[in-house]
Structure 1
Amino acid sequence: MLIIGEKINSTRKSIDRAVRSRDVESIREVVLNQVNAGADMLDVNCGTLDAQDEPVAMEWLVKTVQETADVPLCIDSANYKALAAGLGVHRGKAMINSISGETERYKNVLPLVKEYGASVVALCMDDKGIPANLNQALEVGTRLVGNLLDAGVPVDDIYFDPLVRSVATNPETVVETLRLMEEISDRFSGLHFVSGLSNVSFGLPERRHLNRAYVVLSMASGLDAVIVDPLDSTLMALVYATEALLNKDQFCMQYIRCYREGKLKA
């Protein structure tokens, strides 16, 4: 499981302040906390800034994070100029968050994916928005992944996000999301699946329980990357345990190592 730390996001007030004031030490603390907790990659987002300021801020943010820890970054923005600014200073292979079937977004982001050889989060949506049901999602997702492959993007670089909705208002969303991942994976061998956790529990109390359960269920249906708070020690322990149970951790060696490192204390 690829663990992508979610906490360097300017929708969090502390991160917004740190980015605007170029507070290096505050950013470094968040970086190190996530990496020490087990993050393999860090999402970086400064989308609360004005469109003209975001590219400069993203360049600073990418440099600051990678000067603190030698980890790849998931450069997260709806502003393709900010994506380009971050990619231009990124060391190693980055991930772009994200591309979709929306005409304008696809047109602007695909050249960046190819120019920088980045992996990319592919959102299951198009100009009509998020699909309303499983059949529509299969159509939109198949078309998007097929177009990326036809454009020369390797399947190993595509991380398909099925865009789960809140179970509070869409009771079938998790069941349909699991089926979507299973059916899309049958069509595209080697395709990766990624998900964020905030949507599935939106509007409900004690959201962490739903988030954790969703990760476990999704891993059984093919999820192999997650954008998450790695400081949630219970969730991380469940990820390690689920990998062992799904035979993705041979002889439970990672699980045992995490136990010895104290990472299973939830």
Structure 2
Amino acid sequence: MLIVGELINTSRKAVKPAVEQRDAAFIRDLAQKQVEAGAHYVDVNCGTMVHDEVETMEWLVNTIQEVVTAPLCIDTPRMEAMEAGLAACKNGQPMVNSITAEKERYALVLPLILKYKAKVVALCMDDTGVPATAEQRITIVKKLVGDLTAAGVPEDDIYLDPLVTPISTGDHCGNDVLDTVRFIRQTYPKVHGACGLSNISYGLPNRKVLNQAFMIQTMAAGMDAYILDPLDKVMMGFVYASQALLGQDSFCMQYLNAYRNGVYE
């Protein structure tokens, strides 16, 4: 299981002013807390900094690496910022968030993945937009895996995001994701599945419960990576419990360590 800590994102109210003021202590603390809570990667997103995203990305990457050795996930739609972030990465294998099957986006991002030997989150989306069914997602999955591996990206470095859409917009939306994840796991056992969870509950009350339940369902279907808030003890508790129940935690050691560390209060 791979957890990408999502909190260093300038779309968050507490983060944007800290980044604007170059509050290094705030950013270092947030990075460190996420890693200590179980994040394997730290996501870095400053996409709202329209006028100085490149400089901000470099500053964030360098600031985070002052206190953590975990690798970073460079999260931006802007190629200049993505390359600046990747070039500054020193800790292990970086991750790119994200590539799609859209022709222009794919052509721009692929050279950076290859140049920096990065892992990549690949969104199941093409030039027709967000797929409406599991079948459309699966068609895009086949194309992305085929094209990326043919270009030299190892299967183990590919993290397919089936694109979670709100169940408030259609009863089928949850099952579309689950069916796609099952297909990925059965067809490409070395390829990973990754997603954020919060979209599933958009527009509904008690969103955390829906997010937690969907995480358990997707993990049982074969999802093995999440972009989430690792400081959410309840969510992380369900991650460890689910791994133990699915036989993915030898002798339940991670679950027991989580218990001893106060995850379950």
Answer yes or no: same fold by TM over 0.5: yes
Q: Which residue of 1 aligns with 2:142?
A: 142
- Listed one character per residue, the Cα deviations across residues 9-67 of structure 1 (whole Å, up to 9, x for unaligned) are 010122111222211011112112212222111111000011x5111110110111111
Structure 1 residue ranges without an equivalent (≥5):
none
Is the contact made by 1:76 and 1:83 (CA closer than 8 Å) also made in structure 2?
A: yes
Q: Which residue of 2 aligns with 1:165?
A: 165
Matched, 1:72 2:60: no
Q: Distance in 2 between matches of 1:125 and 1:202?
A: 20
Q: Distance in 2 between matches of 1:72 and 1:81?
A: 20
Structure 1 window deviating more from structure 2 (177-186 vs 79-88): it is 177-186
Q: Which residue of 2 aligns with 1:185?
A: 185
Is the contact made by 1:100 and 1:106 (CA closer than 8 Å) also made in structure 2?
A: yes
Q: Which residue of 1 aligns with 2:109?
A: 109
Is the contact made by 1:142 and 1:184 (CA closer than 8 Å) also made in structure 2?
A: no
Q: Which residue of 1 aligns with 2:225?
A: 225
Q: Which residue of 2 aligns with 1:99?
A: 99
Code of the residue aligned with 2:68 in structure 1: it is A
Q: Distance in 2 between matches of 1:89 and 1:200?
A: 34
Which protein is richer in strand relative to its size? Answer: 1
Percent of pairs with identical residues: 49
For normalisation by structure 1, the TM-score amounts to: 0.97
Q: Which residue of 2 aligns with 1:259?
A: 259
Structure 1 position 251, deviation (Å): 1.3
Code of the residue aligned with 1:82 in structure 2: it is A
Matched, 1:57 2:89: no
Q: Distance in 2 between matches of 1:222 and 1:158?
A: 14
Structure 1 position 236, deviation (Å): 0.6
Structure 1 position 121, deviation (Å): 0.1
Is the contact made by 2:234 and 2:263 (CA closer than 8 Å) also made in structure 1?
A: no
Structure 1 window deviating more from structure 2 (108-117 vs 135-144): it is 135-144
Structure 1 position 5, deviation (Å): 0.8
Partner secondary structure for residue 263 of structure 1: coil
Code of the residue aligned with 2:16 in structure 1: it is D
Structure 1 position 174, deviation (Å): 1.1
Structure 1 position 187, deviation (Å): 2.2
Q: Which residue of 1 aligns with 2:84?
A: 85
Structure 2 residue ranges without an equivalent (≥5):
none
Q: Distance in 1 between matches of 2:166 and 2:224?
A: 21
